């Protein structure tokens, strides 16, 4: 499932303008996932691989006016679409690679990552990079608005035991990358994994 940086930019760049229209019903799922993540007022949160910024409003609501919301994406067209939608009003948008974040160590309270994990070129190293910027005890949410089976069906493929997002694969991957998984949900209508940064 991992793809190189250029392929990711080409794939999402070509789809950015129509992305929100293609998935018009995802908003409530993003809001529920952010609510279940348990952010607090004043938290500093990174939306990693933010795309068109569909989580930004919910993240801003969760952290309040005293919190910080930073959206990072690799694809300029996705960030442009986020700005056209006015989502930069909810937080800063930054063109950057989540594999090499321009963020100091342990300055964030949490990372929210929607649809990101399958596109990471080196999931272990990339999850370690997310851990680097989060304080010990901070949180990580890996989210997708539909579950693994529904997503596989959408792409015309079968789920296999080696799927990186399967609980038996993802748990050890996260543990070896600085995170302790605290909950795992893979339902038809959402995929949500929550984890805490190792002390």
How is residue 150 written in tokens? 């529904």
Q: What pLDDT is recorded for position 1?
A: 36
Name the pairing type of β-strands 44-48 and 108-114: parallel
Taking only the tens place, the pLDDT of each residue in 151-191 is: 888 888 888 889 999 999 999 999 999 999 999 999 989 99
CA geometry: angle 43, 184, 50, nearest 5 deg = 45
Q: What is the DSSP letter of 87?
A: G
Indicate the pLDDT class of residue 2, thresholds 50, 70 and 90: very low
Specify the higher pLDDT residue, 95 or 7.
95
Residues 6+ apart with CB under 8 A from 94: 70, 71, 72, 73, 79, 102
Cα of first residue to Cα of last residue in the chain, in angstroms, is 30
Residues 6+ apart with CB under 8 A from 18: none
Instruction: From residue 185, give the alpha-carbon distance in Å to each of 28, 126, 143, 181, 191.
Output: 17, 22, 9, 11, 6
Taking only the tens place, the pLDDT of each residue in 46-78 is: 999 999 999 999 999 999 999 999 999 999 999
pLDDT at 106 over 70: yes
pLDDT at 141 over 80: yes
Instruction: Tell me the whole-structure pTM to 2 decimals.
Output: 0.92
Q: What pLDDT is recorded for position 82?
A: 97
């Amino acid at each position: 499932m991992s793809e190189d940086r250029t392929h990711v930019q080409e794939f999402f760049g070509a789809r950015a303008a129509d992305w929100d229209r293609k998935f018009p019903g995802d908003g409530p799922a993003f809001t529920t996932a952010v609510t279940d993540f348990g952010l607090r007022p004043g938290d500093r949160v990174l939306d990693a691989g933010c795309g068109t910024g569909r989580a930004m409003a919910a993240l801003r609501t969760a952290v309040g006016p005293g919190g910080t919301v930073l959206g990072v994406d690799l694809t300029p067209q996705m960030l442009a679409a986020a700005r056209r939608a006015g989502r930069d009003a909810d937080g800063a948008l930054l063109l950057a690679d989540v594999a090499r974040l321009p963020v100091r160590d342990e300055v964030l309270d949490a990372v929210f990552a929607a649809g990101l994990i399958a596109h990471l070129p080196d999931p272990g190293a990339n999850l370690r990079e997310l851990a680097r910027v989060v304080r010990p005890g901070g949180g990580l949410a890996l989210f997708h608005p539909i579950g693994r089976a529904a997503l596989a069906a959408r792409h015309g493929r079968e789920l296999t035991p080696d799927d990186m997002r399967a609980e038996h694969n993802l748990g050890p991957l996260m543990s070896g990358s600085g995170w302790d998984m605290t909950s795992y949900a893979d339902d038809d209508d959402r995929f949500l994994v929550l984890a805490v940064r190792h002390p």
